[in-house]
């Protein structure tokens, strides 16, 4: 039985971790594309030479030619400039939109049946542009942001409560930016509301609310926190792991419910824009968008986040 083919567009930090994770999990044969000669070839050779140690048996190839992505079932796009300290994701829009246009054309012309997962920032605008250029159906073009943002939120909750991250469930909605919407009301530890556990820990509701507000603020600024510490780039381990969770759910038809940047058609009061929402990911890509009722405060935050997405997307003049 032929192995699935996975194409990685962009040989930077995230691309390298993506390739290694694909290899370690034996998700399929991997081809990495980058415009810099030698970069993808070198990274893939390096990972391939670890195969006897790590015990994986797949094909790993680096290329500077889009023709080599032909036949890819899943394509993960990381191409574009990373953030530097002091930059917002939105600051990257002009330069990364030019890169994304070229990438999307390469995908459209060489892998017309692929599912595309975009990680490049500013995420919501880059996914929109990718779909516009490829012309692919919306269920095959999606963005990775919510899995990462939610994982960050879950991490902070687990650390605060002193419990395993495996038992924390939390989710963010909206755009991948400072106006994202961490859903406090639905955050739980094995089904127990996080706010109840915080109130137990601190003995009063006011302190619990204050601690949660700090975690929400940290979640919204988590990417910037990493950028400020690294000084020369942005996060790459956690975004790569998050995108692999999405790719694996599609390749293995797992039907996982993952927060995904998806094109909405009236869900949550949004139509015609890519926004982060919970989706069922399976062999048909985005198979279903799960909706639920937001309370007034959550809806207000969602509206604000969507407004920021709209402003960014509209600036592309698509």
For the stretch 250-304, pLDDT in tens is 999 999 999 999 999 999 999 999 999 999 999 999 999 999 999 999 999 999 9
Residue 82 is predicted with a pLDDT of: 77
> What pLDDT is recorded for position 124?
93
- Quick one: which H or E segment has residue 193? strand 192-193
pLDDT reported for residue 317: 79
Bond into 122 cis (ω within 30): yes
| Tokens of residue 171, six digits | 């989710």
- Can you give the pTM of this predicted structure? 0.96
Q: What whole-number distance in Å separates Cα of residue 183 and Cα of residue 189?
A: 14
Distance between CA atoms of residues 12 and 169, nearest Å: 31
Place of tokens 């690294």: 230
Kindly list the structural domains of the chain, giving each domain's residue range(s) and its CATH number in brackets, ordered by start: 5-146 (3.40.50.720)
Question: What is the Cβ-side half-sphere exposure of residue 46, based on CA atoms within 13 angstroms?
Answer: 12
Q: How far apart are CA 111 and CA 141, in angstroms?
A: 13
For residue 73, CA distances in Å to 63, 78, 114, 283, 284 come to 17, 17, 5, 10, 11
Catalytic pick among 5, 152, 176, 220: 176
pLDDT of residue 6: 98
The segments of the chain whose pLDDT lies below 70 read 89
pLDDT at 235: 95
SS (H, E, C) 198-230: HHHHHCCHHHHHHHHHHHHHHHHCHHHHHHHHH
Stated length of the chain: 318
Rounded CA gap, 250 and 51, in Å?
Answer: 25
pLDDT of residue 81: 80
Catalytic (active site) residue 105: no
- The C-alpha atoms of residue 166 and residue 158 are separated, in whole angstroms, by 9
Helix %, strand %, coil % for the chain, to 5? 50, 20, 30
pLDDT per position as a tens digit, 187-205: 999 999 999 999 999 999 9
Q: What is the pLDDT of residue 95?
A: 85
Q: What pLDDT, on the 0 to 100 scale, is given for residue 222? A: 96
């Amino acid at each position: 039985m032929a192995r699935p083919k996975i194409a990685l567009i962009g040989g930077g930090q995230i691309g390298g971790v993506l390739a290694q994770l694909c290899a370690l999990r034996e998700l399929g044969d991997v081809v990495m594309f980058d415009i810099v000669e030698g970069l993808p070839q070198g990274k893939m050779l390096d990972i391939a030479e670890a195969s006897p140690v790590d015990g994986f048996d797949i094909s790993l190839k680096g290329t500077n030619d889009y023709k080599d992505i032909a036949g890819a079932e899943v394509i993960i796009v990381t191409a574009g400039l990373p953030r530097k300290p002091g930059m917002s994701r939105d600051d990257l829009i002009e330069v990364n939109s030019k890169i994304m246009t070229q990438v999307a054309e390469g995908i459209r012309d060489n892998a017309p049946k692929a599912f595309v997962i975009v990680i490049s920032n500013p995420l919501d605008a880059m996914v929109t542009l990718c779909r516009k250029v490829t012309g692919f159906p919306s269920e095959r073009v999606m963005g990775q942001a919510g899995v990462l943002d939610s994982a960050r939120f879950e991490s902070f909750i687990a650390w605060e409560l002193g419990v395993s991250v495996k038992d924390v469930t939390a989710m963010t909605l909206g755009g991948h930016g400072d106006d994202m919407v961490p859903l406090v009301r639905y955050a739980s530890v094995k089904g127990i509301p996080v706010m109840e556990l915080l109130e137990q820990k601190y003995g009063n509701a006011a302190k619990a609310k204050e601690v949660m507000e700090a975690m929400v603020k940290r979640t919204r600024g988590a990417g910037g926190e990493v950028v400020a510490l690294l000084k020369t780039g942005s996060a790459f381990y956690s975004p790569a792991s998050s995108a692999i969770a999405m790719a694996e759910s599609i390749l293995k038809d797992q039907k996982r419910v993952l927060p995904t940047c998806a094109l909405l058609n009236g869900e949550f009061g949004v139509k015609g824009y890519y926004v982060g929402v919970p989706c069922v990911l399976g062999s048909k890509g985005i198979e279903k968008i799960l909706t639920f009722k937001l309370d007034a405060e959550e809806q207000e935050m969602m509206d604000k986040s969507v407004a920021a997405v709209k402003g960014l997307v509209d600036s592309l003049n698509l």
